[in-house]
Amino acid sequence: MTEIPSDVRELATRLFEMARNGDDTLVQYIDNGVSPDLSNEDGNSLLMLAAYSGHENLVGALAERGADVDKQNNRRQTPLAGAVFKKYGAVVDRLVAAGADPHAGAPSAVETARYFQLTEMLDRLGVEG
């Protein structure tokens, strides 16, 4: 296995922090060649981190740039299920509009909403309780 150079590791760490913090500078990196599906060692993509942190505008920008809205992490969680769990309605709306599958992953966004009795989230997902 090839060792990742320290400068590349540092850049990747900064990119993941930008996603967590909702820093729109991340979009410039994507526009200049960084993969919108870049994932960390846990399989969490930039989109997953932005969605789980509630950054609807960054979620929209990443989806517009081709980020896989159904990309699962190593635990089979999707960005949509994470946003449902955190009750980030605007993020859920953005992901659904971008074509996210409410039945993808385990547990899926629908299963998460049903388990926690999140009726509003089920409505946003377009499914019945």
Residue 82, number of CB atoms within 10 A of its CB: 26
Helix (H, G, I), strand (E, B), or coil: what is residue 101? Answer: coil
Measured CA to CA, the distance from residue 122 to residue 111 in angstroms comes to 9
Domain 6-125, CATH: 1.25.40.20
Q: Specify whether the backbone of 69 is left (phi greater than 0), alpha (psi in -120 to 50) or beta.
A: alpha
pLDDT for the residue 81: 98
Question: What is the gyration radius of the CA atoms in the chain, in angstroms?
Answer: 15
pLDDT for the residue 129: 66
Helix (H, G, I), strand (E, B), or coil: what is residue 128? Answer: coil
Measured CA to CA, the distance from residue 46 to residue 82 in angstroms comes to 13
Averaged pLDDT for residues 58-84:
98
Residue 4, pLDDT > 90, answer no
Averaged pLDDT for residues 88-113:
98
How far separated are the first and last CA of the chain, in Å rounded?
47
* 67, 101 Cβ separation under 8 angstroms: no
Q: Specify whether the backbone of 60 is left (phi greater than 0), alpha (psi in -120 to 50) or beta.
A: alpha
Domain boundaries of the chain, sorted by first residue: 6-125
Q: What is the pLDDT of residues 42-69, one digit of tens each?
A: 999 999 999 999 999 999 999 999 999 9
